[in-house]
Amino acid sequence: MSYRQARWSEPSIFTISSEGRIGHNPPQPDSEEVKMSGAPSTLLPPELRRSKPPELPELSEVEVVRHYVRLTQMNFGVDTGTYPLGSCTMKYNPKICDKLSSSPKIRDIHPLQDESTTQGILKILYDLSEMLEEITGMSRFSLQPAAGAHGEYTGALIIRAYHAANGEGDKRREMLIPDSAHGTNPASAAMAGFKTVIIPTSSSGYLDLDAVKSVVSKHTAGLMLTNPNTLGIFERNILEISEIVHSAGGLLYYDGANMNAILGKTRPKEMGFDIVHLNLHKTFGTPHGGGGPGAGPVGVVEKLEDFLPVPLISREGDRYFLDYDRPRSIGKVKSFYGNIAVLLRAYIYILCLGCEGLEAASEHSVLNANYLARKILQGGKYTIPYYPDRLVKHEFVLSAEEIYRETGVRAWDISKRLLDYGIHSPTTYFPQIVEEALMVEPTETESKESLDHLVYAMNMVAEEAYSNPPTLKKAPHSTSKGRVDEAKASHPETMCLSWRMKRRFMSGK
Amino acid sequence: MSGRMVHHYIPNSSPETLKMMLDEMRLNSIDELYTDIPDRVRLRGRLNIPKAMSEYEVERHVEELLLRNKTVFDAPCFLGGGCWPHYVPAAVEMVVGRSEFATSYTPYQAEVSQGILQALFEYQSMICELTEMDYSNSSMYDWATALGEAARMARRVTGRNEIITPYYMDPHRASTLKVYSEPAGMKVLTCTQDPVTGQIVVEKLQEMITSQTAAVYVENPSYLGFFEKQIDLISDLAHDKGGLLIVGVDPISLGVVKPPGEYGADIVVGEGQPLGNHMNYGGPSLGIFACSGDRLLRQMPGRIVGLTSTLEGGDEAYCLVHQTREQHIRRERATSNICTNEALCAVAAAVYLSLLGPEGLRRLCETIMVKSHYAMKIMNSIDGVKTPIFEAPHFKEFTVNFKDTGRRVDEIHRRLLDRGIQAGKVLKEYPELGEAALYCVTEVHTKEMIDSLADNIREILR
């Protein structure tokens, strides 16, 4: 497959601006309204008035549309091609979810409307919570967190509130986190006021029980873990880990980033977890929007229900309502009730797949990952730590260490060259415990043919590393732009973060 | 094994492909790939989730449920308070509906993500123009979380532990601020506001600002719709004692209202939902976060897009910058844990602001002010109804007091709802204001809607 991305030389929207144009005419007030209210200029005292208009671009509608359409054409999405971005789980987003969630019947609802006028969406949110409860085994969910990391922060606050309620708030200040964890885990724990204690991954690829035992103490507030872990390996000792943490009085937090691998096979509850967050775009196929909006609902076991953020969505007979009457709640983690348009998509996704489809999704994500791992390994150029001694689940980590040692070509160069094959790069240099890491997650929605193409591309790139390293060092070649100078972008002398900074540069400051 | 059913989102579930792949791996079934999950933790039986529905059935089912909702167009609605009805131009919907943007991830690979990177750079640029600030990140979850992060940032920059907020504040936002600042060891203090004018009592504020003050937070317009007129003075007071000034804004008002950069704000936060994003029952929303000065830039949470060039050829190009502040590099020492933000909502805001431009935005602001003042005038003419409660300039929201009608605001609103009108938000959190509610009027409210609101109130009170 040859690939070429659109290459518009699309200038900044500020440079195509032309004085006096307008792209949208807002409604004008009725003359009687003006007569009664007074002229606009009289409604704001001079000290509150803007001295000069904001320097926004001036364009007609067609110019704005062409500009942004050209930009979309210079952007890679799941709908463009294979997106094996490990741990980010970029699966196909069913179109019916977008179609239904753009209904005015959801878009044009105000969050403070009387509950009698929002029974439809409240029922949907209530039913979605119940489905998430069933999928994870937790007893109650809050749909409020706006993203996975936001869910983590919420979970960490719940852990904090639980220990405080037991009179152990001052004592239990440590959060245990494996060194292979997503960066959000330690960041969220630290934000919630915990000291993070890092557990090193053992040479087995599993979390080492002795290592867990050695860090657990009466100061342990909890342990944050994803399972399968970021190497794609299922922690088989999870019950022992859970036992160690629980018997020391700590709680077990499940980072749901890798939940797509185990739907219907096991649940956080069966594994002994107390708190779960789910990234809806990873597990339930909602689009990622170039970095959001997301949704990171949090579920908990019964003893933690009281601490969930307000309001929860509750039900009395056929009537659904926003339940604020929860005196032990941690409070609110954002305004209103969550990213509703995303939650609605997840609900629709679950209905479309049903129980069997959800299980099939995880089965095929695991099948695709193992198929891919095996085929890439056959090429002989990459290694996969612990594989094939350990099965992988829905993702795996390739190491390009050997290629780097022998040719000087780095994982970063390989990533860039893959773009020329129409494949989005895998996650590069994560987890940090693997040298020259490329983290690959094909997901269940890639066909065998696209997996085979990925294998072909990986092999070709490996070959090129030996035969023609400059091609890799200068890759990509067929994308909208050649390799971007990221160092310059972050250098204090050359950093340019807005059009006003650019204007200053152009005028010599 | 459930491979017998062919699922339309799962290409390899066709029996032929499945068999081919299993054969190649010398496996008999997918189950063999799950032998690493110990029996002890395996789920017994199936998930209790309904069977799959066809797309047609799903559509019918969901649409039937959604019919139970009443939109702001089914029943005119005068609610604001953190989420506001504004018109979303069709061109905005068209751009953010494009799947190249919608189905992409955070642009880690700049060369194939120039589109969203440039759009986000343009968003940041427009926020800087609107607010007159140096830097903007590429979005936070919403106003409330942006404020929470701003408080924590003020603490990092000043090393101090207190933030002073106005008394009249959105309860959601106030709660979120607490949930964000308390774990950082911060105290939230509340400053008195004058019951007649709503203005911050400057003498009181002056007493409260100490060497422990990390920041003073002011909202313009405030939660109750009025402006704070002493912002220059408040800014000086905060800065004199070495604290920061954090300002909360409704960005749409900045078409005519003095921007925070002009009165020395250090951090600006706000809700970007009015800029081209539908209400969606309160989410997704768009948290605006901007700051000024290099010292603050280094402590700013969230993603930032920068302009650079390609290594060869010197083409202009965009990429994420300053990632060393972020959680995936700095882990527990990161400025924040935020990674997924509200990128697509930020793109909507960029398209929206490009469409309106300075002139469109000014006209829109004037329309909003005229209509809301018209609404106040006409409601004020009803016996016993007083609006606004505060003697101060207002933008699109205003307080209404029904106390002198001798009737309860709850009851009046219930009767309005029976007549197909969704009135404002009852201000239960401020009982001292009387039988008070917060109303919102924007460009979507026609004169007929406003007149009908007033007529109906009049009839109900009769």
> Which pLDDT band, with edges at 50, 70 and 90, does B2 fall under?
very low
Write out chain B residues lying below 8 Å of A346, CB-based. Answer: none
Note the Cα A453 to chain centre separation in Å: 26
Q: What is the longest distance spanned by two Cα atoms in chain B?
A: 85
> Which pLDDT band, with edges at 50, 70 and 90, does A509 fall under?
low
Write out chain A residues lying below 8 Å of B173, CB-based. Answer: 335
Residue with tokens 């800014």: B235
- Best mutation site among A253, A337, A484 for testing chain B: the one with the most B CBs within 10 Å? A484
Question: Please, which residues have CB within 8 angstroms of residue B110's CB and are 6 or more apart in sequence?
Answer: A481, A484, A486, B117, B317, B318, B319, B320
> How high is the pLDDT of residue A388?
87
- Tell me the sheet residues that pair with B270: B249, B288
* SS3 label, residue A21: coil
- Nearest of B134, B100, B93 to residue B115 by alpha carbon: B100
Q: Name the B residues in 359-398 with CB < 8 Å from any A CB.
A: 359-367, 369-371, 373-374, 376-378, 393
Chain A closest-CA separation from residue B430 CA (Å) = 17
Q: Which of A191, A288, A474 sits opposite B104 (nearest CB)?
A: A288
> How high is the pLDDT of residue B324?
80
Write out chain B residues lying below 8 Å of A390, CB-based. Answer: 36
* SS3 label, residue B75: coil
Report the pLDDT averaged over residues B44-61. 96
Q: For chain A, what percent of residues have pLDDT higher than 70?
A: 100
Residue A239 to residue B41, Cβ atoms within 8 A:
yes
d(CA A151, CA A163): 19
- Nearest of B415, B427, B420 to residue B459 by alpha carbon: B415
Write out chain A residues lying below 8 Å of B227, CB-based. Answer: 44, 48
Buried b (16+ CB within 10 A) or exposed e, A127-141: bbbebbbebbbbebb
Residue A106 to residue B36, Cβ atoms within 8 A:
no
d(CA B303, CA A214): 37
> How high is the pLDDT of residue B3?
43
Model confidence pLDDT, tens digit, residues B279-336? 999 999 999 999 999 999 999 999 999 999 999 978 999 999 988 888 888 888 889 9
Q: What are B39-44's contacts with CB under 8 Å, separation 24+? A: B40/A239, B41/A238, B41/A239, B41/A266, B41/A270, B41/A271, B42/A265, B42/A266, B42/A270, B43/A264, B43/A265, B43/A266, B43/A267, B43/A270
Buried b (16+ CB within 10 A) or exposed e, A353-371: bbbbbbbbbbbbbbbbbbb
Residue A33 to residue B371, Cβ atoms within 8 A:
yes
d(CA A456, CA A417): 13
Two structure tokens written together for A451: 């997996």
Buried b (16+ CB within 10 A) or exposed e, B248-286: bbbbbbbbbbbbbbbbbbbbbbbbbbbbbbbbbbbbbbb
Nearest Cα residue in chain A from B105: A290
Residue A506 has pLDDT above 90, yes or no: no
Cis omega (within 30 of 0) on the bond before B195? no
Write out chain A residues lying below 8 Å of B361, CB-based. Answer: 54, 56
Two structure tokens written together for B378: 């006409």
- Nearest of B393, B355, B424, B438 to residue B256 by alpha carbon: B393
Q: Please state, rounded to an integer, the average pLDDT across all residues of chain B.
A: 96
Q: Are A70 and A62 in contact (CB under 8 A)?
A: no
Total residue count of chain A as it appears in this document: 509
Model confidence pLDDT, tens digit, residues B155-184? 999 999 999 999 999 999 999 999 999 999
ipTM: 0.97
Residue A353 has pLDDT above 70, yes or no: yes
Nearest Cα residue in chain A from B298: A492
d(CA A284, CA B106): 18
The alpha helices in A340-447, defined as continuous H runs, are: 340-378, 401-407, 411-419
Q: In what order do the strands lie in the sheet with B425-426?
A: B397-401, B436-440, B425-426
Q: Are B100 and B115 in contact (CB under 8 A)?
A: yes
Question: Please, which residues have CB within 8 angstroms of residue B407's CB and are 6 or more apart in sequence?
Answer: B435, B460, B461
Q: What is the DSSP letter of B379?
A: H
Model confidence pLDDT, tens digit, residues B102-133? 999 999 999 999 999 999 999 999 999 999 99
Alpha-carbon distances, residue A32 vs A276, B99, B256, B362, B377 (angstroms): 57, 44, 22, 20, 12
> How high is the pLDDT of residue A1?
54
- Best mutation site among A85, A109, A396 for testing chain B: the one with the most B CBs within 10 Å? A109
Axis-axis angle for helices B90-97, B343-380 (nearest 10): 160
d(CA B78, CA A172): 47
Q: Are A415 and B113 in contact (CB under 8 A)?
A: no
> How high is the pLDDT of residue A432?
85
Q: Name the B residues in 299-338 with CB < 8 Å from any A CB.
A: 303-313, 315, 317-324, 326-334, 336-338
Q: What is the DSSP letter of A352?
A: H
> How high is the pLDDT of residue A48?
95
d(CA A487, CA A502): 17
The H or E element containing residue A9 is: none
Nearest Cα residue in chain B from A11: B316
- Nearest of A325, A324, A339, A359 to residue A128 by alpha carbon: A339
B452 contact A CB<8A: no
Model confidence pLDDT, tens digit, residues A98-127? 999 999 999 999 999 999 999 999 999 999
Residue B4 has pLDDT above 80, yes or no: no
- Tell me the sheet residues that pair with B269: B248, B289
d(CA B18, CA A368): 10
Q: Please state, rounded to an integer, the average pLDDT across all residues of chain A.
A: 96
d(CA B422, CA A156): 38
